[in-house]
Amino acid sequence: MLTIAIQAGGQSARMGTDKALKLFLGRPLIQRIFERLTPIADEMIVTTNRPSEYSFLNTRLVTDRMVGRGALGGLYTAISSATHPFVGVVACDLPFASKMFFERATRWMVEAEADVVLVKDEKGYQPFHALYRQAACLPIIQAALEADEWKATGWLSKVKLRVLTQAEIESFDAQNLCFWNVNTPAEFAQAEEFARENQKGIAR
């Protein structure tokens, strides 16, 4: 029923090295995310254009189906590659990605008959820690790509959204960590230190 797709694309320009493969508490960051989410998934996939570098995950690796189309193209690849109707899409730079989010989002999606379950904060919608209904979203995303849309959230007005409240977020992530992304060496070090000091108290 649920595919989790971890997106290992992007240039990691501000990090200076591939952040997905950078060691976080002794193992590649993407491996940490993979292990956090595997218990709830019926299928795990990783989207990457360098599959040989991620073979150690021993999972299905998929390359871009629309090359050079940025974030929206990556989202299309993730959702179209899934073999289950619900698709959780997660960026590779979220060390505190939450399996409880996806467990609850699946229920909320069914209850609300929604096409997307996601969070909207002061920066806008958060599309890369979100749940998508494949059948509803895929044709809309494909149409957006054909219309030369690049923004990962530009098509959301055309589907039914279930936007989480702050109280709902805090019900599974009291510290509001799951959207903490690491783009620079300083951010990476800060998140790693936090994880080291709070390993027992961080919600999974």
The predicted model scores a pTM of: 0.93
Supply the pLDDT for residue 69. 76
Give mean pLDDT, residues 168-181. 91
Residue 161 has pLDDT above 90, yes or no: yes
Q: Which has more pLDDT, 7 or 9?
A: 7
> Is 3.90.550.10 the CATH number for 2-197?
yes
DSSP string, the chain: -EEEEEE--S--TTTSS-TTTSEETTEEHHHHHHHHHGGG-SEEEEE-S-GGGGGGG-SEEE--SSTT-HHHHHHHHHHHH-SSSEEEEEETT-TT--HHHHHHHHHHHHHHT-SEEE-EETTEE-TTEEEEEHHHHHHHHHHHHHTT---TTTTGGGS-EEEPPHHHHHHH-TT--TT----SHHHHHHHHHHHHHTTTTS--
Domain ranges of the chain: 2-197
20-63 pLDDT, tens digit per residue, is: 999 999 999 999 999 999 999 999 999 999 999 999 999 999 99
